[in-house]
């Protein structure tokens, strides 16, 4: 068995460490933030400082794919999350009112998932990792660079460990970067003389405004979790321990929308959305939390058929990250961590082969989630900006619009849609199923369904 250094102690990093340790590896988790998880969920939310995670108190979702991986790889974690106050969510409840066949289907249980606020979820995962034999968590330890060894591929650096900010050198058979969106690993690799990875990045163009609430019961769902509302969108997510969040987001260039940072303005806008107004019927537990400057970024570490370095792997947001409104980051990151464990099993002692297989599996299994989200982001931003300017929005993708039209009429197409939303399957896979294709052919010409809310002029009046 090998020695592995995991850089980054967030949810995905800790889960990856546990998976690897359960295969018999010795795993060191190096986390730059010094504070460990508090004793309980209240303290996790109110007092845990995680300056290395900009979105720590922004909304998160875990989705069924997250649940399926942890139940397979880390049994008992779902139970721990529930014990900390996290909640079950069933995205099939309720079905759209336009669907008449509301009978259950075999396998519907796969859609259910456990979720909660990020600090609470992460505190549970962190404590589990700290209890895991074979995992050593070192907080307050910042990685400053990588160690270079004998090349496994001619002319390519081979990573053999890390150097911390204090000057300590830690050897490893594999260094895993799970430091998230702000990853410094490009500079680490440059310090070894490695070639630049293939990097694609752009500002996703969204700004987010979120407020958390608490109440005796979660609000009933009367619209999709993520609801396009013309020139803005609403995201409503359950939390833990009687909490939930409401997020309003729109284009960064929409100056008028900045007014929703004022709680009374935020309330006016959400109250004007009939299917969402009841999500305000709780006690606010935060002010309106703003977040902007979110990059869509993808990095590929095999360029022109050769790895930029061996002995190194980037996982989750450190590999690629997108607009967080889809809520897929933790789920896709955990799928990526599971792929890492599988690749380590087969090729840890073959650095060149490891790099080749890791790249291929990443491109085949998780990269499509990234590229699909990029396409969706660009289309939504273009639509928002056109509506704001009073011009005709670009025509939607025909295949997607027909699929969405059929999904609100056919119970099995709707289940397929939920599979794509929650990372259980890719849209391309679902739409190619014969029964789905037949239903889309029959039902896809229906006009798109709209969630009720203010138009642009009404919105401006609410923002004034």
Residue 229 within a domain = yes
Instruction: Show Cβ contacts of residue 355 under 8 Å, excluding neighbours closer than 6 positions.
Output: 153, 301, 302, 307, 309, 310
Residue 283 within a domain = yes
317, burial (CB in 10 Å: exposed 0-12, middle 13-18, buried 19+): buried
- Among residues 52, 16, 43, the alpha carbon closest in space to that of 141 is found at 52
Residue 267 within a domain = yes
Cα separation, 10 vs 123, whole angstroms: 9
Q: What is the mean pLDDT of each run of 10 residues along the chain (464 residues)?
A: 97 99 99 95 95 90 97 98 98 95 97 98 98 98 98 96 98 98 96 96 89 97 96 98 98 96 98 99 97 91 97 98 90 98 98 98 98 94 95 94 97 98 97 98 91 97 96
Q: What is the pTM of this model?
A: 0.96
What is the CATH number for 240? 3.30.70
Q: What is each CA distance from 218 to 65, 115, 172, 239, in whole angstroms? A: 23, 13, 46, 9
Per-residue model confidence (pLDDT) at position 195: 96
Q: What values do phi and psi take at 394, rounded to 5?
A: -60, 150
Per-residue model confidence (pLDDT) at position 295: 83
Per-residue model confidence (pLDDT) at position 317: 97
Helix (H, G, I), strand (E, B) or coil at 239: coil
Q: Are the C-beta atoms of 226 and 246 separated by less than 8 Å?
A: no
Cα separation, 426 vs 423, whole angstroms: 7
- Among residues 30, 37, 33, the alpha carbon closest in space to that of 120 is found at 37
Per-residue model confidence (pLDDT) at position 240: 98
428 is in which domain, residue-wise? 398-443
Residue 431 within a domain = yes
Q: What is the dihedral of CA 278, 279, 284, 285, to 10 degrees?
A: 160
Residue 410 within a domain = yes
Q: Are the C-beta atoms of 198 and 300 separated by less than 8 Å?
A: yes
DSSP single-letter state for residue 216: S
DSSP, residue by residue, 318-329 = GTEE--GGG--H
Query: H or E stretch including 249?
Result: strand 243-251
Pairing of strands 206-214, 226-228: unpaired
Cα separation, 211 vs 236, whole angstroms: 10
Query: H or E stretch including 256?
Result: none
| Shared-domain flag, residues 412 and 459 | no
Q: What values do phi and psi take at 28, rounded to 5?
A: -110, 120
Residue 421 within a domain = yes
Helix (H, G, I), strand (E, B) or coil at 24: coil
For the chain, the domain total comes to 2
Residue 416 within a domain = yes
Per-residue model confidence (pLDDT) at position 54: 82
| Shared-domain flag, residues 418 and 459 | no
Residue 15 within a domain = no
Q: What values do phi and psi take at 283, rounded to 5?
A: -85, 125
DSSP, residue by residue, 336-402 = HHHHHHHHHHHHTT-HHHHHHHHHHHIIIIIHHHHHHHHHHHHHHHHHHHHHHHTSPPPPPPHHHHH
């Amino acid at each position: 068995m090998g020695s592995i250094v995991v850089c980054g102690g967030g949810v995905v990093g800790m889960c990856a460490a546990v998976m690897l340790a359960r295969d018999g590896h010795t795993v060191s988790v190096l986390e730059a933030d010094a504070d460990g998880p508090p004793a309980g969920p209240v303290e996790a939310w109110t007092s845990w400082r995680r300056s290395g995670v900009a979105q720590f108190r922004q909304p998160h979702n875990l989705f069924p794919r997250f649940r399926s991986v942890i139940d397979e790889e880390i049994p008992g974690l779902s139970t721990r999350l529930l014990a900390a106050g996290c909640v079950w969510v069933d995205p099939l409840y309720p079905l759209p009112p336009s669907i008449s066949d509301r009978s259950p289907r075999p396998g519907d249980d796969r859609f259910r998932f456990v979720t909660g606020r990020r600090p609470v979820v992460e505190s549970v995962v962190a404590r589990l990792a700290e209890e895991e034999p074979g995992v050593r968590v070192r907080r307050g330890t910042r990685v400053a660079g990588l160690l270079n060894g004998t090349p496994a591929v001619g002319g390519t650096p081979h990573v053999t460990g890390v150097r911390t900010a204090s000057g300590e050198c830690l050897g490893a058979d594999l260094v895993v970067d799970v430091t998230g969106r702000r990853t410094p690993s490009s500079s680490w690799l440059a310090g070894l003389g490695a070639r630049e990875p293939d990097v694609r990045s752009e500002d996703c163009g969204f700004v987010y405004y979120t407020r958390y609430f608490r109440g005796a019961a979660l609000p009933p769902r009367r619209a999709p979790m993520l609801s396009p509302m013309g020139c803005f969108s609403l995201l409503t997510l359950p939390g833990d321990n009687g909490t939930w969040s409401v997020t309003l987001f729109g284009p960064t260039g929409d100056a008028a929308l900045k007014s929703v940072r004022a709680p009374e303005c935020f309330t006016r806008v959400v109250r004007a959305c009939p299917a969402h107004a009841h999500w305000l019927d709780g006690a606010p537990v935060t002010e309106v939390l703003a977040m902007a400057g979110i990059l869509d970024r993808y990095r590929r570490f095999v360029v022109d058929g050769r790895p930029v370095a061996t002995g190194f792997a980037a996982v989750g947001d450190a590999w690629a990250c997108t607009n967080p409104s889809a809520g897929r980051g933790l789920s896709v990151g955990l799928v990526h961590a599971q792929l890492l464990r599988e690749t380590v099993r087969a090729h840890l002692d073959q650095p060149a082969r490891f790099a080749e297989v890791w790249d291929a599996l990443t491109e085949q299994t998780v990269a499509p989630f990234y590229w699909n989200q990029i396409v969706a982001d660009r289309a939504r931003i273009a639509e928002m900006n056109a509506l704001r300017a009073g011009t005709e929005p670009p025509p939607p993708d025909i295949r997607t619009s027909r699929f969405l039209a059929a999904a609100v009429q056919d119970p099995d197409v709707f289940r397929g849609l939920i599979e794509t939303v929650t990372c259980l399957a890719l849209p391309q896979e679902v739409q190619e199923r014969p029964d789905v294709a037949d239903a889309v052919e029959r039902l896809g010409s229906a006009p798109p369904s709209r969630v009720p809310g203010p138009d642009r002029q009404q919105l401006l009046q609410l923002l004034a």
